[in-house]
Amino acid sequence: MTTADWPVVNVAVDIEKVRGQGEDSPPLSFFGPHQAVVAVFDGMGGAGNQPFEIDGRIHTGARWAARGLRSSLVEFLDAGERIEAASLGRLGGAFVHRLDRLDERAGRVRSRLRGSTRRLFPSTAALASVERTRRRRWRVTACWAGDSRVYLWTPQGVQPLTRDHVMDPGVVEERPFEDSPLSNAVSLDRPFALQLHEVELTRPFALIAASDGAYGYVRSPMHFEWMLRYSLARWPDASIWERRLGARIGRLAQDDATLVVLAVGFRDFRDLRRTMIADNRAFAATYIAGLRATGADAARFAERRAALWRRYSANYHALLPPVLENGRAHMCDPVEVLAAGPAGAARPAAAARPASGLGRWRQERRTGSTGSTGSTGSAGSTGSKGRR
Amino acid sequence: MSMQGLSVAVDVVMCIDVTASMHPLIDMVKANARRFHGDLVDACEKNDRIVSRLRVRVIGFRDLAYNQEKPRDSTHPHNGDAVFEESPFFELPRQQGNLAAFLDRLDAAGGGDEPESGLEALALALRSDWTHEGERQRHVVVLWTDAPAHPIESRVAYRPAAYGDLPADLDELTEMWESGQGVTRLRGNARRLVLYAPPEEPWMGLVDQWYLAMHYPSTAGKGLADQDYGEILNGIAKTI
């Protein structure tokens, strides 16, 4: 049985705050022979706001990067590659070569700005693959760089399968209501890490890949889950759910926002809906109504939210991967990748330079970056995939 | 379903070199300072970022040694004691008039040799009474100068008593920025620094070492090209 035979529900949200200038790539849903993959890429608008002209169009390096990485992933999967530990080196190499081709084609628009946070074609990446290993057993593999996330959503709740790569690790577990600058993202001028996390599942589930615009403008992780639950309960089919969820995210987000859901193992949308919203009433009573009752009292709201977060976080963080460290991620140094030759020659993870520690990340390198397009193969673009 | 978005409070501290060498530029810098907050709000709105509260304060700075050694000119409104001229935070747009009045009072005068006390001004900015309101904050420091800065340690002896507890050297100042040492209100995740300064030390090294810092290498007598200015504003707005 290939992924084409799986009954899945697949919806996607793609919101550009300024039309034609969005720095998230369209979300990706890809159905290969053995793996289904969902992915989002969020070009870093602060670090990558330098404009580049490529093929007569001027966009920020952030926008070029996110779209370039998406195309690169599609080519990677079209070539029969899988998302797994053994392929991470080749995936990182493919990202670098794509950004490098962009840079070769780019006519740089003059900019004299400098800074420690400036990056050449910077973007986050969050992707997740699903593979059926037995009749009722799936392997889910999340791979990411930066603060775009992959969540697992089951009747037990929403659980991140990725841990944000941020300067202040406290915002991940203790203070999820705050934000922090990134400590890692894909770019052409700095080494970066691709982290991997696998889980095995035996019951139906939904995977969600989301940029920070989609999850970061609700008032707590409980509100993010409630947004999913409430919208799913309210709308009778997947296409309407997709539109309404997109409208809700669009109203809250103060950034470009992308999110893609892939639900696996359910008979159909009605089965998904029935399973996921069964305890909506109890969830709302526990986590939402109490917060709403605090009204405009900011101090009471903060206090109540902190108490509820302590209760919610145990399950929420049950599948959280470890902190990014050497040996737990593939380190990808663009200098070494490009020195090794064309994309096909990129080395596997085992050949990665072992001494390349996180401390080296901030070293400077001056080069240029990427191109894009490429085959779309069996990739869905934005919006929902037909099989529901 | 009623779900509310996040509120973001933004504080901007503008450090302006007001020594005599800035005379040809001071009107332009003050004009930039006047328009900066409005342009920042516009850039935020263009990017659909909502700023729930915006405050701005100004710190004019000269040279500690020159101001201490120079005989007092009691007829000048900014005599030897006024090495730093600090305003409180002004709530905008409500106190726009107060901000404009403070900027109008800044004269380009004094300073002596070319390096100035820009690093001490940065330290004062970092010690501001930064907002903790809203669910997220941004603490932005913008510094305009046409000169390098004296090493901090070379000016310790000239400090008036009120500034005795400023950092002893650049390492201490770097610690203030990087780890919040000695500053209780600055939030690490909220901080941003924009330097309009010549491509000289300490500014070049500082922007390479300090996280979340941007540098526009200014040329004496020349302002910002619109493109550069827009890029800076967009860069800040997109991190709000």
pLDDT of residue A134: 84
pLDDT at A63 over 70: yes
Asked if A213 and A246 touch (Cβ cutoff 8 Å), the reply is no
Considering only CA atoms, which of B120, B117, B119, B126 is closest in space to residue B177?
Answer: B126
Q: Span A3-326: which CATH code?
A: 3.60.40.10
pLDDT of residue B3: 53
3-state secondary structure A282-343: HHHHHHHHHHHCCCCCHHHHHHHHHHHHHHHHHHHCCCCCCCCCCCCEEEECHHHHHHCCCH
On chain A, the residues whose CB falls within 8 A of the CB of B229 are: none
Asked if B195 and B214 touch (Cβ cutoff 8 Å), the reply is yes
Asked if A113 and A94 touch (Cβ cutoff 8 Å), the reply is no
Q: Is A22 helix (H, G, I), strand (E, B) or coil?
A: coil
Residues A207-218: tens digit of each pLDDT: 999 999 999 999
Take residue A188 and report the two structure tokens written for it.
């052409």
pLDDT at B138 over 50: yes
pLDDT of residue A194: 97
**Looking at chain A, which residue has its C-alpha nearest residue B216?**
A113
pLDDT at A376 over 50: no
- What are the respective helix, strand and coil percentages of chain B, to the nearest 5? 40, 20, 40
Whole-angstrom Cα distance, residue B7 to residue B136?
6
In one-letter notation, the amino acid at residue A126 is: A
Cβ contact, residue pair B213, A115, below 8 Å? yes
Per-chain mean pLDDT for chain B: 82
Nearest to B239 among A46, A110, A248 (CB): A46
Which is more confident, A270 or A294? A270
Cβ contact, residue pair B1, A230, below 8 Å? yes
Give the position of tokens 């491509």: B199
Considering only CA atoms, which of B57, B50, B59, B62 is closest in space to residue B21?
Answer: B62
Q: Which domains does chain B have, with CATH numbers?
A: 11-239 (3.40.50.410)
Residues A7-45: tens digit of each pLDDT: 789 999 999 988 888 999 999 999 998 899 999 999 998
β partners of residue A367: none
Considering only CA atoms, which of A28, A32, A104, A99 is closest in space to residue A70?
Answer: A28
Q: Report the percentage of chain B scoring pLDDT > 90.
A: 28
Residue B168, Cβ density class (10 Å: 0-12 exposed, 13-18 middle, ≥19 buried): exposed
For an interface test with A, give the residue of B2, B3, B8, B53 to mutate (most A CBs within 10 A).
B3
Considering only CA atoms, which of B199, B188, B194, B189 is closest in space to residue B222?
Answer: B199
**Looking at chain A, which residue has its C-alpha nearest residue B209?**
A116
Nearest to B212 among A117, A218, A226 (CB): A117
pLDDT at B67 over 80: no
**Looking at chain B, which residue has its C-alpha nearest residue A234?**
B1
Residues B200-224: tens digit of each pLDDT: 889 988 988 888 888 888 765 555 5
Nearest to B217 among A50, A114, A252 (CB): A114
Over residues A240-256, the mean pLDDT reads 91
Per-chain mean pLDDT for chain A: 85
- Phi/psi of residue A379, nearest 5 degrees: -75, 135
On chain A, the residues whose CB falls within 8 A of the CB of B136 are: 178-179
Q: What is the largest CA-CA distance in chain B?
A: 69
- Phi/psi of residue A380, nearest 5 degrees: -80, 150
Residues B36-55: tens digit of each pLDDT: 778 888 888 877 777 888 99
Task: Write the DSSP symbol of residue B232.
Answer: H
Chain B residues bordering chain A (beta-carbon distance below 8 Å)? 1-6, 8, 46-50, 135-136, 188-189, 207-217, 227-228, 231-232, 234-236, 238-240
Take residue B66 and report the two structure tokens written for it.
């020159």
Least confident piece of the model among A190-199, B177-186, B213-222 = B213-222
Considering only CA atoms, which of B175, B183, B118, B105 is closest in space to residue B144?
Answer: B118
Cβ contact, residue pair A111, B231, below 8 Å? yes
- Give the closest-approach CA distance of B87 to chain A in angstroms: 28
Residues A329-352: tens digit of each pLDDT: 899 999 999 998 875 444 443 333
What is chain B's Cα-based Rg?
17
Cβ contact, residue pair B214, A115, below 8 Å? yes
Over residues B77-92, the mean pLDDT reads 77
* B107 CB-near residues (< 8 Å, 6+ apart): B18, B26, B77, B78
A217 lies within 8 A of chain B by CB: yes
Residue A349, Cβ density class (10 Å: 0-12 exposed, 13-18 middle, ≥19 buried): buried
- Give the closest-approach CA distance of B170 to chain A in angstroms: 17
Which is more confident, B6 or B68? B6
Residue A40: C-alpha distances to residues A174, A208, A259, A382 (Å): 25, 10, 7, 10
A381 lies within 8 A of chain B by CB: no
On chain B, the residues whose CB falls within 8 A of the CB of A17 are: 47-48
- Give the closest-approach CA distance of A378 to chain B in angstroms: 33
Considering only CA atoms, which of B166, B122, B167 is closest in space to residue B141?
Answer: B122
On chain B, the residues whose CB falls within 8 A of the CB of A177 are: 135
Q: Hey, where are the domains in chain A?
A: 3-326
A219 lies within 8 A of chain B by CB: yes
Helix (H) or strand (E) holding A262: strand A257-264
Which is more confident, B155 or A381? B155
Whole-angstrom Cα distance, residue A285 to residue A375?
48
A169 lies within 8 A of chain B by CB: no
Query: In which band, very low, low, confident or very high, does the pLDDT at B111 lie, cut at 50, 70 and 90?
Result: low
pLDDT of residue A368: 30
Cβ contact, residue pair B212, A116, below 8 Å? yes
Take residue A211 and report the two structure tokens written for it.
């940029």
